[in-house]
Structure 1
Amino acid sequence: MSQPTNERVWLVTGSASGLGAGIAKAALNNGDSVIATDLDLARLEQTYGSYDGQVLVAVLDIRDVAQAESVVEAALKRFGRIDVLVNNAGYGQFGPFEEVEPQAIERQFATNVFGTFNVTRAVLPVMRKQRWGHVINMSSNGGFKGVSGASMYSASKFAIEGFSESLAQEIANFGIKLTLVEPGAFRTDFLDSRMLKIGTRALDDYSEFRTRALEVFEARNHQQVGDPDKLGLAVVKLVEQKEPPLRFVAGADAVQVVEDKLAFVAAELSRWRALSTSTDF
């Protein structure tokens, strides 16, 4: 089969709102077709009701392996192929590590990490058979640099980064590309109370830290500088590239985070180079 040069078929998880909706709508407005998935069917239908035959909406809990496979089957029945997979669904678990109960940590990884694995595992056989495809894994600037007060969220996104860098090498020979997208702060409902999860094991030593963090979240909510629609346009451009990047940093704030960490790592490596190399035989 030859790769299509015009219309593409996208599967976008977590696309009822936020970054997922920004990406899905950009693809639709580009003339492509989209399988838009989320947990809330009513919100999906409200978001995509005007796109008629271009879009297939489907309920998908990415933690459910069978449901992921069923959505892929429905996508193939409707459109015949999947050209782009956007693993966007997820949420942020915040709070100092010691204040986050083990069950909440397990839920964070079950969604952000294992959920991404589930959908990717369901789609890759389709792309391997086609001998083309593009996987977009949504990370975060918190997946490139650890964030104080978000250790579990950062840990889940660091896991996606390592997974993606390795997977990109494993699937390259099948004509499948992979790009990690690392957004900074975008104006979505990510910090809304409906989405935001805070550790519940309140410890006195963290009380001041917790208060400051919650004040920051409240002040930043819906005031972020990033535009989800513009990120959607950027992702469409990435998919159109013959040689897309492995890592795409989205937003001036995220660019600054990456530049600062690269400078820090380079300086630290240089400082300790003699001791590092002394461990060889």
Structure 2
Amino acid sequence: MTRVVLITGCDEGIGRRAARAFADADWTVYATGLDEGALNPLEDDGCETAVLDVTDVDAGSVVDDVVKEAGRLDCLVNNAGVGHVGAVEETEAEDVAELFEVNVVGMHRLTKAALPHLRDSEIGRVVNLSSVVGRYPLPGMAAYTASKFAVEGWTEALRGELEPFGVDAILVEPGVVGTGFVDDLFSELEDRADEGGRYADLYRMLNYWLPDLADLGGDADETAETIVRAASAPKPRERYPVGMQGRALVLGGHLPPWARDAGWRVARDVSRVFGK
């Protein structure tokens, strides 16, 4: 029987590529997102589409609609997310709340709705999109970093809860992937640097280095293929780092603490110099 996957955040970037990759792998794909017009081309690739806002308190009803139509649900991919640039001192509490509402609370809404159906599947997978910054904090992006740390911890706890039911909770951890999402971050960094202020040099430094990191972070297609691999593996791993950057940073987690933290100590020292 054809496996069924529901993916959030398919308007562009990784979500869009993942929908196509699942379709190419002969899954029945339900691709969701905010923009109906952006989703329509995925129907030509064999995907079913639906408008979904993960911040809507009734977002879980889309899961029930999928199961009613397809008869089953085998995998949920929580890909929808938003970014944020700004030093803590220059970030409003409302911005942090909005970020967590999408990146963490929205993930919870969809997962809660999907779990009763995933327990009925022979494979049962929840695949959550994290990031290398979910393991290693990045100055100037504290709110976004914190949301990805939350995704990591939430998924680890969920994994323990679901083990008795044969449902897997999996993390995919790309580096800085060159998509429209990241282009927006670059643009915001440039705007904040141009505004001046105490942290302007920190934003300039980030805007200078992040494009180079994107070259090492793996691309959207590689990330999409990794998501499909995680969803399809008979015995999936707990984590799937993506790209040279992702693999290098995640492997660093097995190094002694002094070696693992060396690069970030340098980043912090540089930010102190620029932040004076």
Common topology (TM > 0.5): yes
Letter in 2 for 1:64: D
Q: Which residue number in structure 1 is paired with residue 266 of structure 2?
A: none
Conservation of the 8 A alpha-carbon contact between 1:91 and 1:108: yes
Cα distance between partner residues in 2 of 1:35 and 1:57: 5
Q: Which residue number in structure 2 is paired with residue 184 of structure 1?
A: 175
Alignment map for 1:1-281 (pairs within 5 Å)? 4=1, 7-46=2-41, 48-51=42-45, 54-66=46-58, 68-130=59-121, 132-193=123-184, 204-216=197-209, 219=211, 226-265=218-257
How many equivalent pairs are there? 259
Q: CA RMSD in A?
A: 2.7
- With the length of structure 1 as denominator, give the TM-score of the two structures: 0.83
Cα distance between partner residues in 2 of 1:144 and 1:251: 15
Conservation of the 8 A alpha-carbon contact between 2:8 and 2:79: yes
Cα distance between partner residues in 2 of 1:226 and 1:45: 26
Cα distance between partner residues in 2 of 1:197 and 1:64: 26
Cα distance between partner residues in 2 of 1:16 and 1:43: 5
Per-residue deviation at 1:225?
5.1
Decide which moves more: 232-241 or 181-190.
Answer: 232-241
* Structure number with larger C-alpha Rg: 1
- With the length of structure 2 as denominator, give the TM-score of the two structures: 0.84
Gaps of 5+ in 1: 270-281
Cα distance between partner residues in 2 of 1:221 and 1:74: 40
Distance verdict in 2 for CA 1:215–1:82, change over 3 Å: same
Decide which moves more: 203-212 or 180-189.
Answer: 203-212
Decide which moves more: 225-234 or 93-102.
Answer: 225-234
Structure with the greater relative contact order (CA < 8 A, sep ≥ 6): 1 or 2?
1
Cα distance between partner residues in 1 of 2:207 and 2:258: 33
- Percent of counterpart pairs with the same letter? 34
Letter in 1 for 2:249: V
Distance verdict in 2 for CA 1:203–1:264, change over 3 Å: farther
